[in-house]
């Protein structure tokens, strides 16, 4: 237990795992990895892992909202995931349809607003409809934003932003010397998250320790927590442990003082 915590921050029992309510990461982003391995370990087809992973999304979305998280971003399908076998891709494209069909009422009950970032227009029509309907149905919710990265890739996102900015320069509307960090941020898919665009905490499950083309610009000062359980077995308690770890980090943002 707590194997991912630094020795001096390991609580001696789970009862000690008390979170500081004033230091909940406003934006948590999760790379939900290990669905396939979870299924293979149980001699199940890989898609059974994705199905169980979808159930975990339901539990963790509510747990994060209950913790007071402002934005929960979940990496559900990358621009590189199209390389997977057709059957698996088709299954992954149907998951948002099933998820929103069954879960939007609970999201509304919990005041959670759905946002989807990614190249939505390249998704199958049925998936696009599910996504736009979910965003529309929850548009008046004022609590946590449940932000799915769907057909999302950070290099593509940055390339799109650079192209847009270059066009403004070419049209004589923008002086290249006036380009700022903030302006680049305004052209990224997280722009509508406002002050919460950059994640405070990134979690990756399943023991892999890499970033896989996820939010490359936005994670400049994020805290990373890598955890060994596979996504289908991730729990609200594990989420709390990740937040506990986050709360024991010293964030300096390049300066000298803890923020
Ligand atoms: C990575 O595990 C997981 C994915 C590529 C898909 C993640 C999708 C879900 C958890 C369901 C999303 C739900 C909604 C509502 C959109 P992997 O398949 O790469 O696992 P492996 O590394 O063990 O093979």
Higher-scoring residue by pLDDT: 8, 111: 111
CA of residue 143 relative to chain centroid, distance: 16
Considering the domain boundaries, does residue 248 fall inside one? no
CB atoms within 10 A of CB 23: 13
Q: Look at residue 17 in the predicted model and tell me its pLDDT.
A: 85
Q: What is the CATH number of the domain that holds 111?
A: 3.40.1180.10
| Ligand 1 atom at minimal distance to the Cα of residue 37 | 23
Q: For 132-150, write each residue's pLDDT tens digit.
A: 999 999 999 999 999 999 9
Q: Look at residue 122 in the predicted model and tell me its pLDDT.
A: 98
Question: What CA–CA distances, in Å, run from 170 to 164, 165, 175, 179?
Answer: 10, 9, 9, 13
What is the residue-averaged pLDDT of the chain?
Answer: 95
Q: Look at residue 75 in the predicted model and tell me its pLDDT.
A: 98
251 is in an annotated binding site: no
**Distance between CA atoms of residues 178 and 186, nearest Å:** 14
**Distance between CA atoms of residues 137 and 140, nearest Å:** 8
146: helix, strand or coil = strand
Question: What is the DSSP secondary structure assignment for residue 112, as one 8-state letter?
Answer: P
The model's confidence at residue 1, banded by pLDDT at 50, 70 and 90, is low
Considering the domain boundaries, does residue 168 fall inside one? no
Alpha helices in 16-124 (DSSP H): 35-41, 46-67, 86-109
Count of domains for the chain = 1
4 is in an annotated binding site: no
Considering the domain boundaries, does residue 124 fall inside one? yes
pLDDT at 57 over 80: yes
Range of the domain at 50: 22-153+198-209+234-242
133 is in an annotated binding site: no
Phi and psi angles of residue 113, each rounded to the nearest 5 degrees, phi first: -100, 135
214: helix, strand or coil = coil
- What does the block give as tokens for 175? 């002086």
Does the beta carbon of 244 lie inside 6 Å of ligand 1?
no
Mutate which of 48, 98, 231 for ligand 1? The one with the most ligand atoms within 8 Å of its CB, which is 231
The model's confidence at residue 123, banded by pLDDT at 50, 70 and 90, is very high
Nearest to 146 by CA among 119, 189, 115, 118: 115
**Which residue among 55, 81, 151, 213 is the active-site one?**
81
Q: Look at residue 18 in the predicted model and tell me its pLDDT.
A: 94
pLDDT at 258 over 60: no
55 is catalytic: no
Instruction: Give mean pLDDT, residues 178-207.
Output: 98
Instruction: Give mean pLDDT, residues 77-83.
Output: 97
Considering the domain boundaries, does residue 55 fall inside one? yes
- What does the block give as tokens for 217? 């610009």
**Distance between CA atoms of residues 48 and 138, nearest Å:** 28
Considering the domain boundaries, does residue 107 fall inside one? yes
Q: What is the C-alpha end-to-end distance of the chain, expressed in Å? A: 29
Q: What percent of the chain has pLDDT over 90?
A: 90
Q: What percent of the chain has pLDDT over 70?
A: 93
Q: Look at residue 251 in the predicted model and tell me its pLDDT.
A: 87
87 is catalytic: no
Q: Residue 219 C-alpha to ligand 1 middle, in angstroms? A: 21
Q: For 3-39, write each residue's pLDDT tens digit.
A: 555 555 556 666 678 999 999 999 999 999 999 999 9
pLDDT at 256 over 90: no
Query: What H or E segment, with its residue span, contains residue 179?
Result: none
Considering the domain boundaries, does residue 42 fall inside one? yes
Considering the domain boundaries, does residue 26 fall inside one? yes
Q: Residue 231 C-alpha to ligand 1 middle, in angstroms? A: 8
Instruction: Give mean pLDDT, residues 146-157.
Output: 98
Q: Look at residue 35 in the predicted model and tell me its pLDDT.
A: 98
Q: Look at residue 199 in the predicted model and tell me its pLDDT.
A: 98
Considering the domain boundaries, does residue 105 fall inside one? yes
Q: Look at residue 2 in the predicted model and tell me its pLDDT.
A: 61
- What does the block give as tokens for 12? 């001696």
């Amino acid at each position: 237990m707590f194997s991912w915590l630094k020795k001096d921050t390991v609580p001696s029992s789970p009862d000690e795992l008390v979170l500081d309510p004033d230091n909940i990461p406003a934006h948590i982003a999760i790379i939900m990895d290990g669905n396939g391995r979870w299924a293979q370990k149980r001699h199940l087809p890989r898609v059974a892992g994705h199905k169980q992973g979808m159930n975990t999304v339901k539990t963790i979305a509510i747990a994060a909202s209950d913790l007071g998280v402002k934005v929960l971003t979940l990496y559900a399908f990358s621009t590189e995931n199209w390389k997977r076998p057709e059957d698996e891709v088709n299954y992954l494209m149907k998951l948002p349809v099933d998820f929103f069909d069954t879960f939007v009422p609970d999201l509304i009950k919990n005041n959670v607003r759905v946002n989807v970032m990614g190249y939505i227009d390249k998704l199958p029509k049925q998936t696009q409809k599910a996504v736009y309907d979910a965003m529309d149905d929850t548009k008046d919710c004022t609590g946590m934003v449940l932000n799915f990265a769907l057909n999302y890739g950070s290099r593509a996102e940055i390339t799109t932003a650079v192209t847009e900015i270059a066009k403004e320069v070419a049209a004589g509307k923008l002086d290249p010397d006036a380009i700022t960090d903030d302006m680049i941020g305004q052209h990224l898919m997280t722009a509508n998250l406002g002050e919460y665009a950059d994640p405070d905490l990134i979690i990756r499950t399943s023991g892999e320790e890499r970033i896989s083309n996820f939010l490359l610009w936005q994670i400049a000062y994020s805290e990373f927590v890598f955890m060994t359980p596979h996504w289908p077995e991730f729990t609200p308690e594990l989420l709390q442990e990740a937040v506990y770890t986050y709360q024991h980090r010293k964030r300096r943002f390049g300066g000298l003082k803890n923020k």
